[in-house]
Amino acid sequence: MAASTFLARLTILAASLLCLTRTDALAQSKAQAPGVTPEMTESCPGLVASERRAVVPAAIRTGLAPNEARLTYVGHSTFLIESAKLVRIATDFNDYVRPPVLPDIVTMNHAHSTHYTDRPDPDIKFVLPGWRPDGKPANHDMTYSDVHVRSVSTNIRDWNGGTERNGNSIFIFEVGSLCIAHLGHLHHTLTQQQLDDIGHVDVLLVPVDGGFTLDLEGMVEVVQAIKAPLMVPMHYFSTFTLRRFLERVNRQYEVEFAETPSFVVSKATLPSKGKFLVLPGH
């Protein structure tokens, strides 16, 4: 290849990279208006950029921008959620399915031993059980570094067919510019008060087994009530139960299958209409 041709191609490549960098910077500036430091109830509805881009697989990303979060599906109902300042959260932390790194914050629920542990690693900074021995709501509300975590209590069925009041918590994580809600082991539809307490949700982590948690139609009702633009199925045990749920919701929502169990998301990359993103694993 002639030297002049090589230099010409190099110049074109450099110009393209500069254009992409400026475009990305513009999208981030739109997603985070200067001077805005909202409280939890304000930042969840937040400022959504008008330009929307596809969710980016985490496998091709390195660090996170301040307005981004990385989610990795570990399995069952456990996700690893990471912030730009490398705060790591593990949901429904238990003795069977655990992330490959030690979390800073773990949340747990009381339905089954696959959703909690009595032996959390003592090096975990914050252990947040979604229930209390006295039956009162857990009522977590804490901030650590660039992460805010709070909880909304729900009831669960006990082993005798009765009700364990406040045995489950829906945990809401404010990470970057996002509000991410994990429904836990939800056993009933939500009251208006619970929906108000949850508030706006950007990413919803949904148990879709259709029996051990809430039945299929009940879970669809919850999803429709929360109105999150991006939803991720969990707690489905087999492809049969996953497919059954997806066949029901694809009448109303787009369904996308990801190739990797991790993705990076921000306000700017949320879908414009409701979508289920299915991650590998169960």
Taking only the tens place, the pLDDT of each residue in 212-224 is 889 999 999 999 9
* Interatomic CA distance for residues 197 and 176, integer angstroms: 20
Instruction: Grade residue 227 by pLDDT with cuts at 50, 70 and 90.
Output: very high
Residue of higher predicted confidence among 10 and 132 = 132
What does the pLDDT read at residue 65?
A: 95
Percent of the chain topping pLDDT 70: 78
Instruction: Grade residue 30 by pLDDT with cuts at 50, 70 and 90.
Output: very low
Q: Where are the alpha helices (DSSP H) in the chain?
A: 3-31, 40-43, 192-198, 216-226, 239-249
Percent of the chain topping pLDDT 90: 66
What does the pLDDT read at residue 44?
A: 61
CATH of 50-278, one of 3.60.15.10, 1.20.58.1610, 3.40.50.1110, 3.10.20.30: 3.60.15.10
pLDDT tens digit sequence for 239-275: 999 999 999 999 899 999 999 999 999 999 999 999 9
And the tokens for 191?
């009251």
Under a CB-based contact definition with an 8 Å cutoff, are residues 166 and 136 in contact? yes
Q: Across all residues in the chain, what is the average pLDDT?
A: 82
What does the pLDDT read at residue 56?
A: 58
What does the pLDDT read at residue 237?
A: 84
What does the pLDDT read at residue 251?
A: 86
* Sign of the torsion angle spanned by Cα atoms 147, 93, 81, 214: negative
pLDDT tens digit sequence for 105-130: 999 998 778 888 999 999 999 999 99
**pTM (two decimals):** 0.79
* Interatomic CA distance for residues 106 and 128, integer angstroms: 6
* Interatomic CA distance for residues 21 and 73, integer angstroms: 29
Q: Which residues contact 123 (CB under 8 A, 6 or more apart)?
A: 102
